[in-house]
Structure 1
Amino acid sequence: MKRVNSIPSVTDNPAYCSWKKQWSSQEGLDVYSYIFDQCQPEHILLFSKMLFPDFVVKEGGVFLARNFSTEVLDRCSGLASGDISKTEKLLNVVRIYDVFGQVAAGVSDDVFLQLCNVIGFAWRMVLKEKFPEKVFCVEVTNSEQNYGPDITFYQVGSLSPGAEA
């Protein structure tokens, strides 16, 4: 038997660890037990929009609907000198600290970076599903100069008819 993990194990999660320690018998407790006991289905459903976002296709570019407006497109296109991939990279960036606002206080940077990597994994799947003729780069970065972990995507090419990614 071989176990194949879709994403790495979650680390540095004090809320989960604290919850687990409250039980005298921790045998059988796992992430799914925590979800059963602590998580609201509505929150998970709403967050799924981060994992599987809506897109706007315009002028050959693919853009996150949550970030898109004609004004932002024009500004990013100007900064990118009209290069569509560079425009996508600028317009599609999501700074993960900004997604969570005030509830982010006390959460480790490592958790946010893990979350960006999970979002990146989901974006790779959904982009491939929705735009099979295009090839995308999904990029996760973490730098203080960019205000912590962020994620973006942009086109790096297209597939020839009959080719597979």
Structure 2
Amino acid sequence: MNGIYSIPPVTDAVNYETWKKQWNEQEGLDVFSYISDQCHPEQMLLFSKVFFPDFLSVGEGVFLERNFAFETFSARMAEMNDVREVERIINNVHVYDLFDQCADNVSDSVFFQLCNVIAFSWRMVLKEKFPDQKFFVEVSNSESDYGPVITFFQVGE
């Protein structure tokens, strides 16, 4: 029997580890036990919008609906005249910004892991929604960025 894992094991999950330590009998406790005890279904459903976002198709470009403003798009196209570069800029998401209320209380490792999981899901949904187009989903975590960043843009044939 071989395990096939969609994402790497989660590390540095302090809240989960703290929750787990409160129980005398920890055998059998796993992330699904934590979800059952600590997470509300509505939160999970709402968060799925991050993993499976809504898109807008504008001209030759594909954009995250939540990030798109026609004025910004028009200005960037006039400046760059490159829809791929405009996609890269407009589709840019700083993972810290998704969690304003707790960014200081979470390990950078957790944010970076989450960024990679979001990238994985975006690759799948872009392939599903735009089967005739090819996209590059980019994750970065450089010193010049404000934490982990994810974006996507189309690539040539």
What TM-score do you get using the length of structure 1 for normalisation?
A: 0.92
* CA displacement at 1:9 relative to structure 2: 0.7
In structure 2, how many angstroms separate the alpha carbons of the residues matched to 1:27 and 1:65? 43
Q: Choose between structure 1 and 2: higher strand proportion.
A: 1
In structure 1, how many angstroms separate the alpha carbons of the residues matched to 2:77 and 2:29? 50
What TM-score do you get using the length of structure 2 for normalisation?
A: 0.97
In structure 2, how many angstroms separate the alpha carbons of the residues matched to 1:28 and 1:76? 53
Q: Deviations over 1:75-96 (max 9, x none)?
A: 33245x1111111000000001
Unaligned runs of 5+ in 1: 159-165
Q: Structure 1 residues 20-29 or 143-152, which shifts more?
A: 143-152
Unaligned runs of 5+ in 2: none
* Structure number with higher relative contact order (C-alpha < 8 Å, ≥ 6 residues apart): 2
* CA displacement at 1:103 relative to structure 2: 2.0
Q: Structure 1 residues 119-128 or 94-103, which shifts more?
A: 94-103
Are 2:36 and 1:36 equivalent residues in the alignment?
A: yes
Give the 4+ runs in structure 1 shifted more than 6 A.
none
Paired residue type of 2:35: I
Please state whether the residue corresponding to 1:151 is helix, strand or coil. Answer: strand
Residue aligning to 1:98: 97
Percent sequence identity over aligned pairs: 58
Residue aligning to 1:127: 126
Residue aligning to 2:141: 142
RMSD, matched Cα: 1.0
| Count of residue pairs the alignment pairs up | 157
Residue aligning to 1:163: none
Residue aligning to 1:77: 77
